Amino acid sequence: MRLWLDPPGVALEQGRYTALVAPPEALLALLARPELDRFMTLYLYGVSSRVLHRLPRRPPAIALQSCMTVHQLLGALRAAHQTIVIVEYDPELFSALEDEQRETVWAVGRALRELASASLVLLYAERADRGLRALVRTADQAVYLYGAVPPPRSASPGAVSRRGRPAQRTLVEAGWG
């Protein structure tokens, strides 16, 4: 089984764990595909979802499960038997973990990787943070999709370098953080 994302060349396959960092529209386009209804699909999300409320009134036949803690997410991943498993990364779940609980993040990564042996596994996030980067390390494929680059914002109004060009900014100052 193979599903294609809208940009050509990005394939999601059974037996592969893919991490997708993209705007919600990329995941919505995937969820709106009619071929998704032919497979048993499980959608796991954290405390709240940034994607599900955008689905049409008649969404595809997807089993939904909310995971309020990382341990609930681990249990759901270990019990999953569906052909397609989509996990919406919730930074609130992983931000509560301290450095000494890093093994829990690695356990989620291992569970995603083990599940990928029998299913198509997609880990979706709107943006990358430290917890997501730890999960991406265990993925078979990482896909970063971004739309148009936001217009540059100056750190201080009128900041200009010596050459007359806008001053260099950090990613956070430029709106990417």
| Claim to verify: residue 131 and residue 103 sit in the same structural domain | yes
Q: Which residues contact 152 (CB under 8 A, 6 or more apart)?
A: 166, 169, 174
| Claim to verify: residue 78 and residue 162 sit in the same structural domain | no
| Claim to verify: residue 33 and residue 82 sit in the same structural domain | yes
pLDDT per residue of the chain (177 residues) written in tens, 0 to 9:
888 887 667 889 999 999 999 999 889 888 888 888 899 999 999 988 989 888 877 666 889 999 999 999 999 999 999 999 999 999 888 876 666 577 888 899 999 999 999 999 999 999 988 888 889 999 999 999 876 544 444 445 555 555 666 666 676 776 675
| Claim to verify: residue 135 and residue 162 sit in the same structural domain | no
Return the closest-CA partner of residue 49 out of 9, 84, 86.
Answer: 86
pTM reported for the whole predicted model: 0.79
Ramachandran angles phi, psi of 43, nearest 5°:
-115, 115
| Claim to verify: residue 50 and residue 12 sit in the same structural domain | yes
CB atoms within 10 A of CB 68: 12
| Claim to verify: residue 173 and residue 124 sit in the same structural domain | no
Q: How many domains does the chain have?
A: 2
* CATH code where residue 20 lies: 3.40.50.300
